[in-house]
Structure 1
Amino acid sequence: MSSEQLFHEFFVAGLEATDVERLAILEEAGRVDPDFPPKLLKWWQSESESDSALFGGLKRYSATEEGTAFPREFDDYRLEAQIGRGGMGVVFRARQISLDREVAIKFLSRRGLLAEDARFNAEARLLAQMTHPNIVQIHGSGWLPIGDRVFPYLVMQYSGGVPLDQYCREQALTLKDRLHIMLQVMDGVQHAHSRGITHRDLKPSNILVTASQQGRLVQLIDFGLAGREEDGCRGGTQGFMAPELSSGSLIAGPITDVYALGVVLHMVLGGAPPRGDTPCSSVAAAQTKPPVAPADLRGDLDRLCAKALATEPGDRYQTVQDLAADVRAWFSFRPLQAVPATLLYRTRKALRRHRGPLVAALVVMLLLFGAVHNLNEKLEMKQKAIQLEQAKLASDQLVVRSEKRLRVANKLMLEVFRELAPGRSGGQISVRSLLARVEELVEEAADTDAALKGERLLTLSKVCEELGVFDKAHALSGLAADLFSSQGDAARGDWRLAMSHRAYQARRLGKLDEAEATYRMLLAEPHDREKPEFRLVLQSGLSDVYLGKGENLAALELAEKTLAAWQELAGQTDLRTLAVQNTLARVLLFLNQGPRAERLLRDMVTKLEQRLPPDHPRILAALGNLAWGQVRQKKGDEKLMREVLQRQHCVLGIEHPDTLTLINLLANHLAKHKRFAEASEYFAMGYAVVDDQVTKSLTAHNWGNTLNQLGAYAHAEQLLDEALAVRIELKGATHQQTMLTRATLAEVWTATGRVVEAEQEARLLFETALRKWGPDQGVTQTFKAFWQKVRDKVGPANPTETASIQREPIDATAPH
């Protein structure tokens, strides 16, 4: 970096500094070049005079007297009020006359230096390159003559927000609210970094927060010191600058923005600068004085701030994305990158997520050992029966008793898992980590008896099912069914039971065709007339499959028939009856029969509350359906949905399918009402923890669609590509959901100027729909309209306007 560039950086750093702060800057500048301090003093004094001319002249823009030398209007703008001063100028709220819209106009003070002209042009170019909801957008630029001077100006989006620190003080925000705001800040900074741009002056006054009914919008302003990473210059505000910027390296980049974000995060969460004095304290202090932990922060957040504020760049988060990932991990009680990944720490985080008693896990292990012991006892008895022919009858009786005890142990183990599993009992511990050990223990007692081995595998399948690990459950139930099938008619009942679980698991995995075929096959089997419950279970599962495939009328007919049968067989308060009532209510919601669905759900909640604890997952699931139904009917806001989600988070854990379902529903609701920033947060939360491919692809599609609305096109395209690959594999290239993902990708291409590619894809989608559904179907008409809109953009058009086919997220994630 040249001497002139170094001097200019020191000059900019002192523009807003106090006298005490300027002394520190002069001391640092003197170490670089002894000629810098006197020259800086002269320039700062000259700058004050220039500011006086600027501010004095602009003050007259507000005058209403006729004949003023400075009219309120110039070019296409009318100045209305001064709203602040930035690093190198003054900012006005103004109105663009031709479009009748509010804008912000920033005038840069200037003495005719070519370097300043270059800086102005650089800021305009930088802002024009960035399109993101968390960064103010530039509308234009120009030069305004005032007397014998010419002042450059930028016309920007008017935020109307207040500085971050002021907003946090005035609103008395909770810790979580402050962190959600900081996540928006990080998203904006990360977008700039993805364009190779470093802000270099991140501080609360350059972060504006606007509150509305749609939520809080956070926007970064004042990119006057920003530059490309390869520029390698220093700059910023004392106290927010990374230590290495004053140690001689003088290179600003993403890692220095991470440090500045650490300072802002520390101030927002703790209310004070990290070094314990003013935020503009000497940068030199940052090299020797450790940050003071905020009084209200403990544990993970304290360490998170400390990592962002590390003196050595290599000890910090290397990207803003890493910092944001740790904040999101904190929300979901997951281990943080900032904390050493010890076994004790990860165990503590797992228990914090679910807060379940360790004794319960020990009980499970004891029961498992008991099951293995019984299995070994049974083997010993079989050997004794072979060796002692004279005691065959007695041995056979012992074998039978041993087999019964093993079955009882298996059943008891399943019941204990049900009590522990979040999806059943409301317990707060995840026993998923025990599954590997369960398999090891049973394998140690390898059984050559196919029927008993099948029973063992089916028991494990049920355990996985209760825990929401449906892919593992599906594989185990298939193995169990094969073993039962090899036993012929003697194990036919066990085979049916295994296949019924496999059908349910296939449905939860999104394998609807497999689930339907299995249910239909089992329903065609001869059944014991004295035990009609099994057939009703199959009918209930098949109605859920119909609902998942969008065959709502078929689902309605079967659900009503099954509910009536259960009510007659088991009564109206039986849990199996209420489960089918839940299915029927969901079908009615999809058919827009909200009032009847709401009556069924309220009745269901009342009956469940009479039999189960208040936070039992069945009650929470019913309340989640009720909240979703109210939002769907526009009978209220998402308050109940948020309350249920919070209870599910505590009781079930964030990884449980019911919790993830409600997270997606809430995110869909927010996106539908154009509250895209909030929706993106919830989609990100669910995406980070979901395991199964179907739910992850659905979340990826909806999140990508939301990011498309936010202008985060690169991330949106990445998510949509991921969703598309899964949907093509599971559903095929011409399935309606696959085609919707392809259409959303085409929207992203349109928005990023790839209109020819988008038009080709849109035309292909329309032609596919025409062949598959015919010209008169609504889906075909939708794809036709989409193609026409994209086709119009192949000619002269604004590439930032996007055609719309699937603005609302897919609503396939209804509560289970």
Structure 2
Amino acid sequence: MQTPGQWLKAKQIAEAALEQESAARTAYLDSACELHPELRSEVESLLGADKDGDFLSATTVGMPPADEEPPASMIGPYRLIKKLGVGGMGQVWLAEQTEPVRRRVALKLIKAGLYDDTIAQRFLSERQSLAMMEHPAIAKVFDAGATSAGQPYLVMEYVDGLLLTDYCDQRKLSVKDRLRLFLQVCEGVQHAHQKAIIHRDLKPSNILVTEVDGKPTPRIIDFGLAKLITPTVPGETMFTQYGAFLGTPGYMSPEQADPTVQDIDTRADVYSLGVILYELLTGDLPFDSGQWKKQRFDEILRQLRELDPERPSAKVGMNKNASASRAETRSTDPRQLALSLRGDLDVITLKALEKDRNRRYGGPSELAADIERYLDNRPVLARPASTGYRLQKYLRRNRLAVVLSTVAALLFVSFAIVQAVQLRRTTQERDRADGVAEFMTQMFEVSDPSEARGNSVTAREILDRSSAEIDKSLGRDPELRASMMFQMGSVYQSLGLYAKAQSLLEQTLEIDRRTFGSVNEHTIATMSALALVLASQGQLGEAEKLARESADQASHLFGLRNAKSLKARHALWNVLYREGRYSEAEALGRVTLDTARSLLGPENPDTAIYSIALARSDAALGRYPEAESLLRSAIEVDTKVFGADHLRTIYAMNHLAATLSESGKPAEAEKIMGQVFDTERRVLGPDHPVTLGEASSLANYISDQGRYGEAAILFRDILARQRRILGPDNPGTLLTAGNFANAPAELSQFAEAEDLQKDTLERVRRLYGIHDPSTSTAAYNLACMYALQGRREEALSYLEQSIQYGLIVRTGLHISEDEDLKSLHGNPRFEALAAEAHRQALHQQKRD
């Protein structure tokens, strides 16, 4: 039986054969199909069917061709006007929507007879990919459905534009204008990556340019080969099969051209962007595709994997006949074009085209950041920044200012001396202020749990007194006041006094924004710290808003490969994880850790923090071996740097215990958590929120081993302390209450368990709403309690609520608190996930 992989290979050989001269075609087939007569037969069949010259280009990748009839003139509310083209999965039509609004759209239709499971699955993936994205540089999706014959279709924004390269050439855009347009493309691809989607077939024909208010605006189309980094549609990461090459040879990355490489990641798109950049700058592809007509297909793939391209500045001078016309389309002459590409643009482009993906830019945003540095006449990261190079960039960036400054310096030497004296006095005053700041910081360090060793009452007294004193004595120095308040807020946070920390950090942020502006190191650090404090109190919406702003401003100010940017992105990861958005958190955590390893080194303490973050994301997604490996590595680093009793070390051990418990090793988890709890009780004190939280985890591990009575005693004590210290609505208190209720239920003390579970569900739903994962968990716990009593109807009712709440979180659907959950039925995405949840439940029932 013919497989999709075999069909794809036959199609690729046939396409290459068509590009050969007629006399050389037979020899090419002899070479390409050697030892595979059945493959030769299939290729010859395809060549015989290609009478009109467009059969192969119109055939769906992965399936043999099928006869196809024109679709009906109307599909739902869409009237087909004309066929725009044929892609990898089907036809694209220009259509007119007749209701509820009248507009022109692009309708993509799987070709008749070809929508088997594999093709339908890829079409579903494209539909999901487009639906997840909202960006000016990405064509929007409006609707999706199926014809009366069951033929799937997708309705998208109709982009009436030119190919990216054609637009630039027709408008004769300069190199810098092309780069500014290319930056918008990078932003769109970066947005797709942030949604965990890799395009895998970026090329000028998939990037159309229109003009909006007279300004060029690119639109990325055709996500037909897109791959989700973390799947949301079942089975969609299985499209790439061994030996099947997905993509366009001139633009595909070396790893896409290698049949042994299966883990295609976001850097494949970076390579394709590099090819597009090369073409925008030079008018040529990095390789001479004209020679490919005379070569075997495996030789073409070998060149893609092994040969390095010429520098763009050298490429533009290689073809003398074409160099003048290409320079003209860039509004320059051949010599100036070569000079403008030499240096920075050469190294930026070649870094994007590195064969080893570990040496490429980590993502489109890093490539864009280097291009922005070039446009701003700042040193680019792709080339070593020598002193002479930096000086050259500075002079070019500030040419007029340097000339004026030189003249002023010559005319006003005496004035400069006076200014130097004044500067010295100002510096001395600043040093005195810094001395005060250092003294105050050292004073506050006694409140840090790592230093106080349980002396938290005295620390809080010192902190409260210092807070009042600073507000009174430093009111005239806002910068120093903000610095001190930031320190105090951080220490309050470490003590678990989140409300006081929030108040101080909010005041600090107000001063920072007023004094320094939003794009400033101090402001960015304050936003990240405040976001974490808000998240610790369950205020996740405001926390995410601040964390995203902080991460964006840090990337803009410092660049992506910077320790401060990493910290800001880690704060955003923390919020995403608390929101239950584990796939997004995992993608962000992986990029952060990879950057930290290369930038800071694998044994840096901050790298260990990012390792723990990625481990928590992996564990939440069920990747327990990977999580355990990352955590043990982090523990080793923290123990070596800080010692076994330091909070950093026991923080890592805490998460290792949680991972072991979730992976079915409760006894080992209890042993580690016992060590963690003893250390935290000694270091932080018995009533610290962190200590109480770990005590709750320890009780949970004891309960997991069936020692419900022992667990109930510990839970009861912890819950009383948390309600007294943190309040009944604190996230930690509610988590303990839900876990505690399970222990009395197992002991058949159902009255107490029911009261606890109902109170917990009511509080969680009131505080966080139905879009938070905690609400689904609380409803599930109540369903389990009723199931233990044999109260079937009540158990099923709350179990259905739990599933629906969970699906709301996964699909991102937004419904009001008062809206009936039954209104979700009929939503295709919701129904698909509900069916999958039901299937898994039946499987579990059979297994049990």
TM-score higher than 0.5 here? no
Relative contact order higher in (CA < 8 Å, ≥ 6 apart): 1
Please state which band the TM-score falls in when normalised by the shorter chain: 0.3 to 0.5
